[in-house]
Amino acid sequence: MKKTGMFAVGLTVTALLVACGPHAQAQAKAASAEKITQLPPGLDEQWIDRSADPCTNFFQYACGNFAKLNPIPPDMPAYGTGAIVYNHTQEVLHALLEKVAANDPSRTPNEQKIGDFYASCMDVDAIHAAGLKPLQPALDRIAALKDKKELTDLLAHYQLVNVNAFFSYGEQQDFKDAQKQIAVVDQGGLGLPERDYYLRTGAAAEKTRQQYVQHITNMLKLMGEPEDKAASDATKIMALETSLAKISMDITSQRDPKNVYHPMDKAQLVEMAPEINWTEFFERTGTPAFTELNVANPEFFKGLNTLLESTDLDTIKTYLRWQLINSTPSYTLPEAMDEETFNFYGRDLSGQPQQRARWKRCVSATDGALGEAVGEVYVKANFTADDKARTVQMVHDIETAMGQDIQSLDWMSPETKTKAETKLSMVADKIGYPDHFRDYSKLTIVRGDALGNAIRASEFESHRQLNKIGKPVDRGEWGMTPPTVNAYYDPSMNDINFPAGILQSPLYDPHADDAENYGHVGAIVGHELTHGFDDQGRQFDGNGNLIDWWTPEDAKKFEAKTDCEVKEYGSFTAVDDVKINGKLTLGENTADNGGIRLAYEAFLADAQRKGIDLNAKDKYGYTPVQEFFVAYGQSWCGNQRPESIRLQVQTDPHSPREFRVNGVVQNMPEMGQAFGCKTGQPMMPVNACRVW
């Protein structure tokens, strides 16, 4: 279940991966026989396009040959440096899961769980033979609804199994008191990626809506509805979801924590949306007793109440059937439904020609359901104590650079600097994996029951999260699994998190020069650290509380500096007629720009300590500073399908990869100086943006 209200912000180095299909056994055998993908070095000379001018287009210079050497695989919407590391990790996990999937009595309890979950996912014959029978009790429950008053019990069950019909429910740290864990209700209930897909004008948006209605129609037909009724029901569902979209908050507004923090007692929620019996809802979800919760978007729940009053029960039941089938993991559905799900969410939305092999889907599903059980086995063989120690040292170096950066700012007052330093000193560093792995002993996994396993895993995670309400915060908890190729900062925890999965070559190469590692993982560390001081993170103090610790003058100066980035990135055209949303991507752009600067300063300090000659040339003909910037650029090498770029720009707070390079280095005069650029060239503009 989604942790509603959590403002953790991640790096996202991997491509968006969508649903994929059957024919699993043959694929699994073929994959097992293949060698695990070789990871590239910290700097790959083959990727460099030396015919390009680094002062005109640094991304093209650092990565111009990548796409020729590494075309996008047909089962992916994009392919880049992070995807190579991701695929390598998937293959490592595949070998691990194939081993523990053997029904061996010597397996540990966790090995048995992850092995049986994976084996059940791979058992396509059992899944397709079962058809929709495993969902029939849930469908019968919807059909049996005779009154809207009976909705509450069903919606409570839905929330436990990750079906966010009409709204979403979960827990979060209290923004104003990070020691408390509270309940939170938020907007939800949409099948398209976000609200503006229902409201945006233009031919491309209209085409997507038509494709979505056809997709719903096709799925309802596969559920047994006659074609005319399926088409009619799809139109009703689209109308209802459009009404939900109209009362929802847009994704850019949701970035501001003040916009999604409205603590109130239960009585106020009851008064706001009496169509739902909230007392019964909280009881049915097994939520511990509480008095106050966060209603993230009060206007949504006022509108939802009106919508529930005005919508007939048959339309609601039709919508609930759709929400159920659309939220059910497609790998547990019959082949035709699995294919249809991929056709819309994969081909139409992301431009991905083929589904991923089933073993890849099952590896991802197992990691999603039992991530720390998978991770505990993974790190034993793939992440050493030396790996952790070297990463810890780099993190400390970059935190030192952040402290020096704060003190050097000419626009920040001494008063705010002191508070910023205090917050920085309180950042918790989490490297590789948690100190204590999660206990899955109460989760039942039944071999051969793929859908049942997925449902029980969702319920287990939902109850685990809801049971935290009213209890002290576990500061050691992680929001990503150890094999994840990503990283994140959580402002309520005030911690930076680097799973073992991302600490692999080329992002971290123990055999590479320091310049390369600082350019790669150093910038990643700096990125996450800067998130603590971006437009979102700066609103939280060192304890993780939402509190204004800035002087009014400093806050105005900060906003003026971020406004430079908003305008800068908002001028970049991502694909066709679609420009980057400078406000949506502001936090990530600030983190990219601040992160590379911190890594650069830490690298210079490290080079001075070690007596490295910054004028010496390496085997590629680069000075250490040039090598640093080329390594940074190669963190984002890759290519992406146009449909996937459009989807990303409209839904994702991260800028496309080209602009995570060019948009950053053009704000770093040090890069231009290293490559002999002249002021006024594209990568060395007269006026550069800088926040941190």
Write out the catalytic residue numbers.
528, 592
| β-bridge partners, 78 | 640
**Residue 457 φ then ψ, to 5°:** -65, -40
Give the separation between CA 612 and CA 251, rounded to whole angstroms: 46
C-alpha 205: how far from its chain's center?
24
Give the separation between CA 85 and CA 382, rounded to whole angstroms: 13
Q: Please choose, from the candidates 76, 70, 84, the residue with its C-alpha nearest in 3D space to the C-alpha of residue 41.
A: 84
Task: Please check whether residue 171 is in contact with residue 184, taking contact to mean a CB–CB distance below 8 angstroms.
Answer: yes
Task: Please check whether residue 316 is in contact with residue 151, taking contact to mean a CB–CB distance below 8 angstroms.
Answer: yes
In this structure, is the dihedral angle defined by the CA atoms of residues 571, 576, 577 and 582, taken in order, positive or negative? negative
27 Cβ partners below 8 Å, 6+ apart?
357, 358, 359
SS3 634: helix
Give the separation between CA 535 and CA 520, rounded to whole angstroms: 24
Task: Please check whether residue 608 is in contact with residue 617, taking contact to mean a CB–CB distance below 8 angstroms.
Answer: no
**Residue 292 φ then ψ, to 5°:** -125, 145
Q: Which two three-digit tokens encode residue 550? A: 């800035």
Task: Please check whether residue 635 is in contact with residue 47, taking contact to mean a CB–CB distance below 8 angstroms.
Answer: no
In this structure, is the dihedral angle defined by the CA atoms of residues 385, 390, 394 and 400, taken in order, positive or negative? positive
Q: Please choose, from the candidates 174, 191, 116, the residue with its C-alpha nearest in 3D space to the C-alpha of residue 472.
A: 174
Provide the angle, in degrees to the nearest 10, between the axes of the packed helices 624-634 and 586-610. Answer: 150
Integer distance in angstroms from the first to the last C-alpha of the chain?
A: 35
> How many helices (H) and strands (E) are present in the chain, helices listed first?
31, 12
